[in-house]
Amino acid sequence: MATSHDYEGYLEARPRYYTTTTSPFGNVRSQDNTPFSNPVSNAGATLGRVLFYDVRLSANSSISCASCHIQKHGFTDPAQFSTGFEGGKTGRHSMSLTNATYYTPKNFFWDERADTLEEQVLMPIQDPVEMGMNLFDLEVKLAATSFYHGLFEQAFGDEAITSQRISEAMAQFIRSMVSYQSKYDQAFAVGEWNDPDFAAVFTEQEMEGHKLFSGFPVGRQASLGCIECHQTSAHTMDQAHINGLDADTSSDPGAGGGFFKSPSLRNIAVGAPYMHDGRLKNLMDVVEFYNSGVQPHPNLSPDLRRNGSPTGPPVRMNLDQEEKEALVAFLQTLTDESFLTNPIFSDPFAE
């Protein structure tokens, strides 16, 4: 049914800073959530890809996982809120799946309500707004679809179709969605961040933005340190935090008290709108929010308080327009055009 691709080879080709215990931005390997019991295999990820794009996973066969996680948008949704199988709207913006393999355990969804990726992938399928499907009915539905028998046998050794196998295959496919061929990666391929060869890959503006992002002094700016919340080469964080979107977080407490997950910044430039509620429409809006709009909150992250004080007022970065544009320019270097068009992640039903 679907073209088989070399997912194992794609992951093996990850740069060394994805696979070693040392990296310019910290140990990303330790964040890999791939369980020993469910490693990515070519057959498993191939099945997962078909399931991901199959509208049969919704109750009325109208939408798929890919309806709200679109490849060219970094596997997020350009709509502020996604449309479910009966036209209802989700309560939060669709989070990007890029680099989801580096979301640490107990760290899935904006509110971190799922402990594993295997658990996470089944929740939207059963959600009454999103896909509205009962898992038993899904097993029956897929068993009545002839091409799935061979795909499950190739992935698991026999034709049995179970919700556990569905979750394992989809998790394998999503774990293969690692972005590592951006301009940013091209720079690290030739040198470390203090190497002239590294800087030569970037424009002067992009390099200034990189320094601002990473916390290096740039002119009058002592440090921004965006990297504190978007760590490692995967640009992810291993815990939820409060970033000061609202002084009152009671309307959506997230993981509790207003805490929300920080997603990966890979392919962020194609993933608008931003934040858990999609309120910020473009990257300049995001930069301006952190520059001047962070709201006070009792549990505001210390990284967003002046001088890192646990009780201080929200930081005000006081970036000028040139510096804000430089920061946006750097964030655009995280776009991986190859990832956004790679056929191993594309719709198998369009082949």
pLDDT digits (tens, 9 = 90+) for 41-74: 999 999 999 999 999 999 999 999 999 999 999 9
State yes or no: 297 annotated in a binding site: no
Same domain, 136 and 225: no
Identity of the amino acid at 119: E
Which CATH number belongs to the domain containing residue 118 in this structure?
Answer: 1.10.760.10
Same domain, 86 and 71: yes
Has residue 147 got a pLDDT over 60? yes
Average pLDDT over residues 107-117: 89
Same domain, 126 and 64: yes
Q: What is the pLDDT of residue 220?
A: 43
Which of 9-18, 140-149, 258-267, 305-314 bottoms out in mean pLDDT, i.e. has the lowest? 305-314
Average pLDDT over residues 227-242: 74
State yes or no: 5 annotated in a binding site: no
Highest-scoring range by mean pLDDT, 199-213, 218-232, 291-305: 199-213
Residue 276: inside a domain, yes or no? yes
Query: What's the pTM value of the predicted model, to 2 decimals?
Result: 0.93
Residue 157: inside a domain, yes or no? yes
* Residues 122-143: b if buried by 16+ CB within 10 A, e if exposed: bebbeeebbbbbeeeebbebbe
Backbone angles phi, psi at 20, to 5 degrees: -105, 170
Has residue 205 got a pLDDT over 60? yes
Same domain, 127 and 204: no
Listed residue (32, 33, 39) closest to 8, CA to CA: 39
Same domain, 198 and 283: yes
Q: How many whole angstroms from its chain centre is CA 81?
A: 16
Has residue 174 got a pLDDT over 70? yes
Residue 36: inside a domain, yes or no? yes
Residue 2: inside a domain, yes or no? no
State yes or no: 241 annotated in a binding site: no
Same domain, 47 and 131: yes
Residue 102: inside a domain, yes or no? yes
Rounded alpha-carbon distances, angstroms, from residue 344 to 14, 165, 173, 221: 15, 20, 9, 42
Cis peptide before 273 (omega within 30 of 0): yes
Average pLDDT over residues 109-132: 94
State yes or no: 73 annotated in a binding site: no
Which residues constitute the domain of residue 39? 7-179+338-350
Same domain, 187 and 263: yes
Share of the chain above pLDDT 70, in %: 93
329 within 8 A of 259, measured Cβ to Cβ: no
Same domain, 196 and 54: no
297 within 8 A of 287, measured Cβ to Cβ: no
Has residue 224 got a pLDDT over 80? no
Residue 1: inside a domain, yes or no? no
Q: What is the pLDDT of residue 299?
A: 86
Same domain, 218 and 142: no
State yes or no: 68 annotated in a binding site: yes
Has residue 204 got a pLDDT over 80? yes
Share of the chain above pLDDT 90, in %: 62
* Number of domains present in the structure of the chain: 2
Has residue 221 got a pLDDT over 70? no
DSSP letters for 241-287: B--SS-S--TT--BTTTTBB-----TTGGGS-SBSTT--B-SHHHHH
Same domain, 189 and 164: no
Same domain, 64 and 200: no
Residue 136: inside a domain, yes or no? yes
Rounded alpha-carbon distances, angstroms, from residue 209 to 182, 288, 327, 341: 16, 14, 4, 26
Has residue 284 got a pLDDT over 80? yes
Cα within 13 Å of Cα(8), Cβ side: 8
Average pLDDT over residues 311-332: 90
Same domain, 128 and 53: yes
Q: Is 222 exposed, middle or buried (0-12, 13-18, 19+ CB in 10 A)?
A: exposed
Give the integer Cα–Cα distance in Å for 48 and 44.
6
Longest CA–CA span in the chain (Å) reads: 65
Give me the chain's average pLDDT, please: 89
User: Residue 314: which residues within 8 A CB-CB, separation 6 or more?
Assistant: 244, 294, 295, 296, 300, 304, 305, 306
State yes or no: 69 annotated in a binding site: yes
